[in-house]
Amino acid sequence: MYDFLISVGTKLNSWVEGFKLQNYQHVAFVILKISAILFLAVIVYKVGRILIDRFFNAQIQMKIGIDVRKINTLRALSHSVLKYTVYFVAGLTLLGQFVDTTSILATAGIGGLAIGFGAQSLVKDVINGFFILFEDQYAVGDFVTIGDTTGTVEEIGLRITKIRGFKGDLTIIPNGQIQKVVNYTRGNMLAVVDINVPYETDIDKAIGLIQDVANKYAQENKNIVEQPQVLGVMDMGDSQITIRAVVRTLPLKHWEVERELKKRIKEAFDENDVGVPYPRRVIIQSEKEEK
């Protein structure tokens, strides 16, 4: 082991002694160029982001009729394009400090075939991402379900889509895997309220109370866009009758309307002595058991 270390040290010493001043200058020059390229790439990326943000913020302030969600989507896409462009140019420039990139680009047609087989998923992600944006399937800020993931679209890039869940969890989905999208933000939603009452309840009275409560609530809540409707009896269960009311609301406001409407209906039932259904049992005793 000692002899091996002496041999390595001797070879290293001879290599250092043979390293001329011109070699040191060349290495220092290459390191300086690499540092300058990286520094310039960072500056270009940061300045580009600032210019993109200023441009789209100006579009929002001008109020030219473009949806804010669509502007934010284009903003995120522009950031993605800028990032990949800067990475590619900087990487190619750095590679040029060590090898001849001209010959690499000249043989790209041969190597591209081999790389293409390995990059099929990447190409699929990018192409599908363009179709998502072109067809306006969803935008940043939309509440969607993609596969088994439900949440708010936080970012749309060339390759991936980021979904922020209700609990704050972030799911990153490659665009090539997106086949079915349920968008809850496009168009008005329907709040469905099912109320259970006992069989002995006066159904007409209960329906009237529900209608009155819903109409009064609709006058107070600007998120309700159509007159509430009580559809009537929807089901007859073991111990209760189900009455359904529906209310058309603005996008993503139906859950809030459902909760508040149930609360108000419960309060109205309490004030008018409308009971709550309970499970009931009927015990039949035969004459033999009585004797």
Q: Which of 106, 140, 161 is the last residue of a domain?
A: 106
Q: Is residue 285 part of a domain?
A: no
Tokens of 158: 């060339």
Asked if residue 60 and residue 141 are part of one domain, the reply reads no
Q: Is residue 267 part of a domain?
A: yes
Asked if residue 194 and residue 167 are part of one domain, the reply reads no
DSSP string for 81-144:
HHHHHHHHHHHHHHHTTTS-HHHHHHTHHHHHHHHHHHTHHHHHHHHHHHHHHHTT---TT-EE
Asked if residue 132 and residue 217 are part of one domain, the reply reads no
Partners of 173 in the β-ladder: 161
Asked if residue 255 and residue 171 are part of one domain, the reply reads no
The CATH number of whichever domain residue 31 belongs to comes to 1.10.287.1260
Q: Would you state the pLDDT for residue 257?
A: 92
Q: Which has the closest alpha carbon to 42: 78, 86, 80?
A: 86
Does pTM surpass 0.75?
no
Partners of 163 in the β-ladder: 153, 171
Residues 142 and 158: their CA atoms lie apart, in Å, by 18
Q: Is residue 151 part of a domain?
A: yes
**Going residue by residue through the chain (291 aa), what tens digit of pLDDT does each one get?**
556 566 655 655 665 555 555 555 666 777 888 888 888 888 988 888 888 888 878 777 776 555 676 677 777 778 877 887 888 888 878 777 666 656 555 555 544 544 555 567 777 877 888 788 777 888 888 899 998 899 999 888 778 899 999 888 999 999 888 888 999 888 889 999 999 999 888 899 999 999 999 999 999 999 999 899 999 999 998 888 999 999 999 988 899 999 999 999 999 999 988 877 877 777 777 666 555
Asked if residue 177 and residue 86 are part of one domain, the reply reads no
Asked if residue 12 and residue 97 are part of one domain, the reply reads yes
Number of domains in the chain: 3
The CATH number of whichever domain residue 210 belongs to comes to 3.30.70.100
Q: Is residue 122 part of a domain?
A: no
Asked if residue 133 and residue 102 are part of one domain, the reply reads no
Which residues have a Cβ under 8 Å from the Cβ of 155 and sit 6 or more positions away?
76, 140, 161, 162
Q: Is residue 9 part of a domain?
A: yes
Domain that holds residue 136: 128-183
Q: Would you state the pLDDT for residue 230?
A: 92
Q: Is residue 281 part of a domain?
A: no
* Cβ proximity of 153 and 138 under 8 Å: yes
Q: Which of 106, 137, 170 is the last residue of a domain?
A: 106
Asked if residue 47 and residue 9 are part of one domain, the reply reads yes
Asked if residue 170 and residue 222 are part of one domain, the reply reads no
Q: Which of 183, 208, 224 is the last residue of a domain?
A: 183
The CATH number of whichever domain residue 177 belongs to comes to 2.30.30.60
Residues 248 and 229: their CA atoms lie apart, in Å, by 9
Q: Is residue 286 part of a domain?
A: no
Which residues have a Cβ under 8 Å from the Cβ of 201 and sit 6 or more positions away?
241, 274, 275
Q: Is residue 54 part of a domain?
A: yes
Sheet holding 149-156, edge to edge: 170-174, 160-164, 149-156, 143-146, 181-183
Asked if residue 157 and residue 79 are part of one domain, the reply reads no
